[in-house]
């Protein structure tokens, strides 16, 4: 009997909650791995490390004011390690699942620690971290309206909109760049030490036509991503698989492993609003 009650509590209450549960768990995979990496390399956050708080503190307006002493109690090393631990624990909690109330607690932890990370230092953070924060914050706010389906659907729509906007903006900006249109951007990226890959660079450097084809494939796919909302369910699934493959390749060749989890985590939200899913819910 107790086992059945526990299982029942873990089940999504409806289709919106099911979509949010998937968003939360997928995002939590990347954030939990990131928190573990930070704990392993915690020495980078001490006062003599790369992310020293006394140094990073100076970029904040009015950083010499007395009220910053309260922030120091949380963000100064070694107390900041507790923020990393809280983030790791919250991530594990989301991965374990649970009732909406339980998940709300873990989401509050992820949102709060995410804000602390951004405040302490914006170095080493990227679009995936910002997207993860949006996913957590919106999912947390959705838990405040358990009986308002419209408000919850609006929250899910916000994540879907952010996903479509991010892809469209990224693709359309690339289209305005001549180095992307002629393919030079790819060889330029893959020969760098930060985001480069020797194997892929050697593959592309003497193949301008292949490089141009890949560059245009990325630009077009990103720009037309919002059209997935108009696609029938089977085609939309193939489109999402293509997006997953794109992020897997970025993780492999550019080291952008967290992008996979933050962006793919939005796919359940986008899928909820595709034409096929809307028709299925309406019974059309």
CB 6 within 8 A of CB 248: no
pLDDT value of residue 222: 96
Can you read off the two tokens belonging to residue 60?
A: 């904040």
Distances (CA, A) of 39 to 35, 116, 124, 169: 6, 15, 15, 34
pLDDT value of residue 150: 95
pTM given for the model: 0.87
DSSP letter for each residue of 30-44: HHHHHHHHHHHTGGG
Q: HSE of 160 in the Cβ direction (CA atoms, 13 Å)?
A: 21
Can you read off the two tokens belonging to residue 217?
A: 């494939």
pLDDT value of residue 63: 57
**Domain ranges for the chain:** 1-126, 148-284
pLDDT tens-digit series, residues 44-58: 888 888 888 888 888
Q: HSE of 35 in the Cβ direction (CA atoms, 13 Å)?
A: 26
pLDDT tens-digit series, residues 249-261: 988 888 878 889 9
Rounded to whole angstroms, the Cα distance separating 62 from 204 reads 49
Before 78, cis peptide (omega within 30)? yes
Query: Residue 9 pLDDT > 60, yes or no?
Result: no
Rounded to whole angstroms, the Cα distance separating 115 from 131 reads 12
pLDDT tens-digit series, residues 65-115: 666 777 888 888 888 999 999 999 999 999 999 999 999 999 999 999 999
Confidence label for 1 from pLDDT (cuts 50, 70 and 90): very low
How many CB atoms are closer than 10 A to CB 282? 7
User: Which positions ≥6 away from 257 have C-beta within 8 Å?
Assistant: 30, 33, 251
User: Which positions ≥6 away from 228 have C-beta within 8 Å?
Assistant: 164, 236, 239, 240, 270, 274
Instruction: State the DSSP code for 57.
Output: G
pLDDT tens-digit series, residues 213-225: 999 999 999 999 9
């Amino acid at each position: 009997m107790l086992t059945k009650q526990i299982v029942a509590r873990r089940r999504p209450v409806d289709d919106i909650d099911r979509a949010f549960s998937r968003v939360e768990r997928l995002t939590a995979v990347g954030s939990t791995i990131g928190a573990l990496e930070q704990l392993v390399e915690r020495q980078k956050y001490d006062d003599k490390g790369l992310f020293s708080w006394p140094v990073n503190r100076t970029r904040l307006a009015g950083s010499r004011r007395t009220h910053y002493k309260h922030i120091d109690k949380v963000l100064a090393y070694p107390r900041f390690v507790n923020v990393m631990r809280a983030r790791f624990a919250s991530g594990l909690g989301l991965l374990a699942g649970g009732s909406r109330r339980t998940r709300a607690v873990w989401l509050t932890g992820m949102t709060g620690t995410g804000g602390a990370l951004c405040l302490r230092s914006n170095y080493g953070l990227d679009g995936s971290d910002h997207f993860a924060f949006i996913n957590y914050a919106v999912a947390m706010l959705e838990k405040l309206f358990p009986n308002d389906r419209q408000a919850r659907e609006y929250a899910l729509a916000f994540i879907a909109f952010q996903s479509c906007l991010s892809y469209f903006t990224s693709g359309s900006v690339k289209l305005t760049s001549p180095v992307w249109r002629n393919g030079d951007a790819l060889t330029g990226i893959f020969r760098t030490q930060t985001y480069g890959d020797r194997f892929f660079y050697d593959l592309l450097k003497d193949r301008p036509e292949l490089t141009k084809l890949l560059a245009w494939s990325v630009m077009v796919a990103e720009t037309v991503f919002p059209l997935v909302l108009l696609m029938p369910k089977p085609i939309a699934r193939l489109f999402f698989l293509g997006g997953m493959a794109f992020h897997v390749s970025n993780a492999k060749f550019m080291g952008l492993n967290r992008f996979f989890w933050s962006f793919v985590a939005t796919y359940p939200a986008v899928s909820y609003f595709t034409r096929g899913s809307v028709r299925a819910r309406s019974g059309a």
